[in-house]
A and B are shown apart, each in its own frame.
Chain A
Amino acid sequence: MNPEIYTLRINGTSREVRDAWIGESLLYVLRERLGLPGAKGACEQGECGSCTVLMDGDAVCACLVLAASAVGAEIVTVEGLGATADTVTDVQYAMVQAGAVQCGFCTPGLVVAIHHLLDTNPEPSDLEIREALSGNLCRCTGYGRIFDAVSDVAARRREEARR
């Protein structure tokens, strides 16, 4: 494999990465090489969760993925969750409605983690919500409104499924 050029599958499209150093994290490549700044960089050691992305269906910290090793994996970032220039996802909407966004730095990582939680466990208990989001730090909200937003989305999706 040529280290200078590799291709990643991101949000359903193939993206070529050129002239990268092989030690670069997926977070760095997303933000600095591919123009996808949604995943945030804070701790660079997997503690804060602000860089959470989906990799082959698992929520992982992009800062701990060696980008060049992610060849062949399906990667979804917060940009790929379905929001458009004019619309937000149901999770993003619920976060805004619940007042779960303050400084906003942790929000993209939380949005990815919440989508992942509700897609794999549509009716999480309070404990399961806390556990699923334990890897995403928020220093503003105290988490209460974030947990409210998760419950709101779960209820809304249940309601929609009944219709």
Chain B
Amino acid sequence: MSGVLVPATLAEAVSALAADPAATLLAGGTDVMVETNFGHRRPERVIALRGVPELRQWHHDRDQNTVRIGAGVPWAQMEQGELAALVPALAQAARTVGSPQIRAAGTLGGNLGTSSPAGDGLPVLWALDATVELVSAAGVRRVSAHEFTTGVKRNALRPGELIAAVEIPVVTGWQAYAKVGPRNAMVISVVSACLVLDRPAGTVRLALGAVGPTVIRCRDTEQWLAGQLDLRTATTVPADVANETARRVSAEARPIDDHRSTADYRRHAVGVLGRRLLERAITS
């Protein structure tokens, strides 16, 4: 193979990748093209996935009560409508990605493929215990979101595999995504967080973005909260619980200093986000 291949089916894409596992996979282009334009990447063989219809579909499985979102579904499609009603936190995250132009092109699969610590979709997938569906010539492999990213821009994809879809459980209860950045549009997260309140189960789940090499699930804070509040019925958060939540969330973060912010600010801000999301969740 040489040049750019634009397969028309998933089977074609998979067999092209099997024949050339080192080829660059191109989804919306919003990451790969930046690196290419700046000379950090020099693709020689590209498999462009934009023409694969199977990757651009989503559906709600009512029996399993899960939503399966094709890896090539652009952010713009998650922002509103039926999909947004099923996974509101993902819709919120989608609305914070880049600009309308970026959201028309960028995809959830691309977010996973890039595995940036600041990827806006990732904390949502971690908080909702999503499953990533990988396809290769050998068949389908399903990996928990928690095991998918393994480090900064590193993930569990094996040679010859591509990300086909993400399966997200539909949860009854309040959920939201929040992020901090220097302005309201066109911003890469300085810190982000997704909180899911599962009322029937009486649990809360909190995932943090951009404060560690991968998304961080605040398991300790989650457990502690379940002991402080009856999460099935609580409608208020006592001030001491709210403040202790912020402290615990900050303690679970593992931020670094970089060109976007400092570790100190990130640790503080992510605690504020955690507390704020909890208060909104409980009082909504």
Contact = CB atoms under 8 A, between A and B. Distances in A.
Contact of A46 (B5, B26, B99): B99
Interface string B16-33: 000000000010111011
A57 to B, nearest CB: 9
B212 interface: no
A134 B4 contact: no
Interface stretch (B37-45, B218-226, B245-253): B37-45
A136 B36 CA distance: 22
A131 B43 CA distance: 34
B3 A25 contact: no
A47 interface: yes
A44 B185 CA distance: 18
A3 interface: yes
Nearest to B3: A3
Interface residues of B, number: 34
A72 B34 CA distance: 23
Sorting the interface of chain A by its residue count into under 10, 10 to 19, 20 to 34 or 35 or more gives: 20 to 34
Contacts of A49: 99, 101
Contact of A60 (B46, B48, B101, B184): B101
Contact of A69 (B29, B30, B185): B29
A60 B105 CA distance: 7
Contacts of B5: 1
A61 interface: yes
A157 B102 CA distance: 28
Contacts, number: 104
A159 to B, nearest CB: 27
A6 B48 CA distance: 14
Contacts of B76: 58
Interface string B40-79: 0111101010110000000000000000000000001000
Nearest to B8: A72
Contact of A68 (B4, B42, B98): B4
Interface string A61-84: 101111011011000000000000
A37 interface: no
B48 A66 contact: yes
A73 B220 CA distance: 49
B105 A72 contact: no
Contact of A135 (B4, B46, B101): B101
A77 B171 CA distance: 43
A65 B37 contact: no
Interface string A131-150: 11011100000000000000
B6 interface: yes
Given A23-B42, A63-B37, A65-B29, A135 B3 contact: no
Nearest to A27: B37
B181 interface: no
B152 interface: no
B34 A22 contact: no
A6 B3 CA distance: 11
B101 A45 contact: no
B30 A64 contact: yes
Contacts of A23: 36, 41-43
B3 A2 contact: yes
8 contacts: A46-B102, A59-B100, A64-B102, A66-B29, A68-B46, A69-B29, A69-B46, A135-B98
Given A58-B105, A60-B105, A69-B6, 5 more contacts: A1-B4, A22-B46, A64-B29, A64-B34, A66-B29
